Every structure is written in C-alpha cells, then in structure tokens.
Amino acid sequence: MAKKKGFSRRSFLKGASGITLATIAGTSIFGLNGANKAYAKRNGQLLGYLGSIVPVAEDNPSIVHIDSYCKHGQCGICRDVCLEKQAVWGYWDPRIAREIVCVNCGQCTLYCPGKDGTPAKQEKDETDKAFSYLDSDEYHVVVQTAPAVRVSLGEEFGLTPGEWTEGQLVAALRRLNFDTIFDTNFGADLTIMEEATEFLDRLLYGKHPLPMFTSCCPGWVKFVEYFYPDLIPHLSSCKSPQQMVGAMVKTYYAEKRGLDPAKVISVAVMPCTAKKFEAQRSEMRAAAEYWQNIAIGPDVDLVLTTRELAKMLRAKNIDFVSLPEEDYDSFMGEDTGAARIFGASGGVMESAVRTAYYLITNEDPPETLLEFAPVRGLEGIKEATLEIDGKTLNVAVANGLKNCRIVCELILEGNPRNWHFVEFMACYGGCIGGGGQPRTEVPPTEELLKARIASLYTSDEAAQKRCSYLNEEVKLLYEDFLGEPGSELAHELLHTNYTNRGPVS
C-alpha cells in the first residue's frame, strides 16, 4: 500500500478513527473509514454483524455472561464498549470465524450496569478453586501480585481510590495461608532485562523487524493474533511478568528450595481478566518442558482478579484495612520503581528506555528519562523522541484497543512516524484500568484512573532503585541460574511464540 503523505498527527488520528454505520440489504453492518477499511479489504472479509449483546463462549476462560442480570435490548453497553472503545466486536464476520472472537480484556465486566448493580458480564470466578489449593496439605501454594492491584484493592474496602496498600496486601495473603508471597514486580524487572536486550538486538544488529511491540498485555497480544497476524514478527518474544514469575517459581525457586515442582501451585493476583486466558495458553508450560514432566502443569495454575481476591478476604472475614504492613518474601520479592509503573500506560516504555540507556552507554539514565513525561498520562496515543549515545529513537504508546488498531494500521502503511519501539495496552490507562479491577465507578472515571496512576508514579519517585538492572534478586537469578539476559536458558523459560488466529480463508 502506498504511503500517505502530508498528514499531521491530529489529522491521522481524526481520520483513522472515523466510524460509520452502513445498511446492506437491510442488515446493519459496522463499517469503517480510512485505514481500518483497508484492513478489512486486505483480509477479504465482511465486518461483523451487530447485536445488542456481545456473546460469550461457554469455554471462555476469562468471562461469563449471566443472563438473569442482563437487560438485553434495553442496554447494549457491552456492545458499545467492545465496539467503540476496544474495536473488537463488529470487526469480524461471525460466518467465517473459528470461534466467538474475544480478546478476554474484560472491559465489558467493568462497564456492564447489570441489574441492581450486579453485572451480567463477570470474570470467571475461581475463588473456590483457590481455596481448595489453600486448604490442602498436598501443595506448596505460591502467589504473586501485580503492581496495579496494590493501588486499587483498598477501594473494595472503602479506601480512597489509588491508596497504596502493598503492605496490607501481603499481610492479607498471609492470612489466607499462601505459603510464599512473591511480587510480580520482580517479574517486571526481569521482563525489562530481557526486553531491552531484545530491542537492542533488533535496533543494532537487525535481528527481527522494527518497530518492536511490547508483549506483556495478553489482551493486546490476542488482538494482534486475531486482526493483525502479519505483524506478529514485531511482537517481543518476551513473556509477560506474570508468566516469567510463574516459570521461575516452578524451576528456579522449586530447585533451590528442594520442592517437588509437580506439587507447587502458582497463583497470580491480577487487575486483568485476560491473564486468565494467558495462563492457560499451551505455550505457557516452560517448567513442564524444563523438568520433562507433564504432571507439573502450566507455569501459572490460577489467576485471580482484584475483585476475586477481595471476595476471598470477605469470605474469611479478614479486616483488610486494619492489617499491619508486611513484606514480600525474598528470592523473588524485590522490585524497583521501574517495575511499579508497569501498571500504567507508558510505564513499560519508560522502564525499558531507562535500562536501554544503561545497556547502550553503561551509564545511569539522566533525570529526563526517570521522569519521561511524554509517555505518561491517559492520552490514547503518545509519542516521544530521544537521543541515546548519538542514536535517535522514536517511541510510541497506545492504550485502549481502538487506539492500538490505529497504530497498527499506520505501521502497515509503512510506519510513517518511523517508530522503533511501541508499547501497547488493551485497557484504557493500562493495567490500572484492567477488566479485573474494582467496580468503584461504573464506568470507571478518569479521576479514578488518574488516582491509581499517580500512586504508582509517587512510589517510583520514592524508590531507592528506579531502574530494573539494579534489582539485586534479578542479578542473582542471572548469576545463579539463567546466565545472562537473552541466554539459551532464558529463551527457553522466559520467551515464547504466538499463534495466527486470523480468519479462515
């Protein structure tokens, strides 16, 4: 496709996001103008029919639809959010789909008003399964917690949006009898070491195409697999922090602690419903391959949303607000400020840039990269240009899948912005607005999301270490087990591949 010339960022955002409704043979079909129309033509497909309710497959691992709470034709909010904000429902003709197309982002569960405050769209509840593991003497149950959970869980118990409750979160998990409590932030620092190394391999040595896309958001990854399979080579091969920690729990941790990995249960507490889907992907069984023992199961056995954890605490009458502050367990419990901001749109990019600067120059990044303002905030698409050791890097950040679609179309048109590295997050605001977060406001307001974001950045600013390469436990992991970032073992355990989910021809 010929490269378009002479358009500004303002004009391309306005044009690429244009939406119209067309009527063909009396049937309403969702149509698109500009770049998105070109996508439909490339794949030779009609766009999907619109009903008032977004369907949910019975085997969906993330989301369920409870019909008794649905307002049916009187509402249509799940359709509107999936269509207009996430650009998923309506972008696929169901007559040629292999399955009900869903990226598992769970935004429908945040926006659905339901009846009497009970949403018809909910996360798949696995709290009973979690309790069964915790009540059994057979298993050693390990849990990890995502950065965005510690700035939202308190809302479930009447605290102010964005209030930092990391210490109480750890204490609550101990009261639930988890054997070991690790921080997904450790995995975020580990992800940055692998991802920054991969980016430099692409940038300096031409290994795989540019721009490189982040891969820590499973809703975004599945979106690419469905709608843009031609762009899969741009995805970083790095697993998400959740999956990196899961793989390390059942290999490195089990080995060093003398545990039977088949008896280790790995649980993750996430702000995200798509993480439930990610955990059961066939590619996420690195530990079973490492030990050559299929009985070990997936690297992450169970994912609980922030809402599910709150439900468990209530079931056990744990007074969350009154709990003392406690610390994560060592071994995989250390983090840096760079890891904490993973929960906000732009945080992964900012963290990666800090470490990339160090890997290129062997010097700590300047203050401007520790407060990388151009990639922060709730704007749907953000851009920045920076200089590192004489090299110009153009980066971009997109949050919300409608905005991700715009960026993908531009890259297919020839990458007119000359981006080298792009961060994508499926949910508005990033993980802090994830589909598994508290329904404090329905739908979530900008003020709510900004409060959560501010808390993460405040914590980063207060951190003694603000760059991932300074994490001592991550250093020890490489020295004691993996060797170095990008090593053969690191690739076996921490990297993955992707699936073309494009339409049947």
Query: Which residues have a catalytic role annotated?
Result: 195, 198, 216, 236, 275, 278, 283, 431
Burial degree of 443 (CB within 10 A; 0-12, 13-18, 19+): middle
Backbone phi and psi for residue 236, each to the nearest 5 degrees, phi listed first = -60, 145
Residue 91 near residue 63, CB atoms below 8 Å: no
Backbone phi and psi for residue 153, each to the nearest 5 degrees, phi listed first = -60, -35
Pairing of strands 63-65, 121-123: antiparallel
Q: Which residues of 391-425 are buried (b: 16+ CB within 10 A; e: fewer)?
A: eebbbbbbbbbbbbbbbbbbbbbebebebbbbbbb
In sequence order, the β-bridge partners of residue 19 are: 32
Q: How many CB atoms lie within 10 A of CB 216?
A: 26
CA distance 82 to 103: 10
Q: How far is CA 41 from CA 44, 47, 91, in A?
A: 5, 10, 12
Quick one: tokens of 37? Answer: 């129309």
Beta-carbon contacts of residue 490 (< 8 Å; ≥ 6 apart) = 194, 482, 483, 484
Pairing of strands 140-145, 121-123: unpaired
Question: Quick one: which of 340, 345, 411, 350 has its CA closest to 386?
Answer: 350
Q: How many H helices and E strands in the chain?
A: 20, 12
Question: Quick one: which of 78, 12, 84, 34 has its CA closest to 400?
Answer: 84
Q: What is the DSSP string of 121-168?
A: EEE---HHHHHHHHT-SS-EEEEEE-GGGGGTGGGGGTPPTT---HHH
CA distance 164 to 161: 9
CA distance 449 to 152: 10
Report CA torsion sign: 64, 70, 72, 77.
negative
Residue 460 near residue 231, CB atoms below 8 Å: no
Return left, alpha or beta for 331; rule: phi > 0 is left, psi -120 to 50 is alpha, else beta.
left
